[in-house]
A and B are shown apart, each in its own frame.
With several copies, the nearest count.
Chain A
Amino acid sequence: MEDTETMFDTEGVTKNFMFLNRKAPYGTIYAQEVLELVLISAAFEQNAAIVFMDDGVYQIVKGHDPSVSGMKNFSPTYKVVEMEKEDAEEDEDIDMVWKIIVEKESMEARGLSTDDFIINVEVLGSQELSALMAEQDVVFGG
């Protein structure tokens, strides 16, 4: 498969990747296309912190229906991300650790709580998120 074709020697390399989602869904495509990147990364069995902060927290709110605006509903893909995370936790042959995180301050500023989200998330305050950032090797999104 083209998507896992390799050119560099990365045998045995493990890194911490952060996917930082800060944009609202539908108004721009960033939320949707970064999801494609997250899913591809699973094939490489790397650690991933999938973070929702600022307007990115709106990406995982329940009840999206963009059909009347003529757009595609990519909301179910977040469930796939959640499944990948759970599979990695359950399968002892897979070393990768995935985290799905919401920044507390962003969530509260928007009047949201974890009940509003379609997936299970870990809520971190800015200071805890800061500590997690310091552990990353590569940060995508923004």
Chain B
Amino acid sequence: MKLGIMVNEGPFTHQASDTAYQFAKAAIEKGHQVMRVFFYYDGVNNANKLSEPQSDDRNLVKLWGELAKEHGVDLVVCVAASLRRGIKDDILADGFRISGLGQLIEVGLAADRTITFGD
């Protein structure tokens, strides 16, 4: 199964990013393909490389980046949502790229299922 995932909230404040990550990881482990994770609304804050959680807490920015690197998942941050919220190339974490909203519609068309995680 080919999957598209949309993440609408930033890390820590809402559980959305945690659940999306656990879901993506489980899907990949079962042999499904996560074609793209699209970060919209406050979800763009998942791409802030300055994020530095406490040492005993999970680091979602890094976890997403590792998933991208190890399994070729395309992590796309919405350009319009990012500009507003100050997520720019200067602070963009490894594994993420900034692009347009069309990338979300595109994965909706290409994937067998598209699922949203948000608040």
Contact = CB atoms under 8 A, between A and B. Distances in A.
A and B touch in the complex (CB under 8 A): yes
B110 A8 contact: yes
Nearest to A39: B101
Describe A's contact surface by its main secondary structure: loop
A46 B105 CA distance: 9
Contacts of A8: 35, 106-107, 109-110
B100 A2 contact: yes
A41 B13 CA distance: 22
Given A5-B100, A69-B15, A10 B41 contact: no
Interface in A109-142: 137-142
A40 B21 contact: no
B56 interface: yes
Interface in B3-38: 6, 12-15, 18-19, 21-22, 35
B67 interface: no
Interface in B98-119: 99-110, 114, 116, 118-119
B110 A13 contact: yes
Interface centre among A3, A43, A71 (most CB of B within 10 A): A3
Contacts of A2: 79, 99-100, 102
B80 interface: yes
B102 to A, nearest CB: 4
A9 interface: yes
Given A6-B106, A17-B108, A40 B100 contact: yes
A129 to B, nearest CB: 19
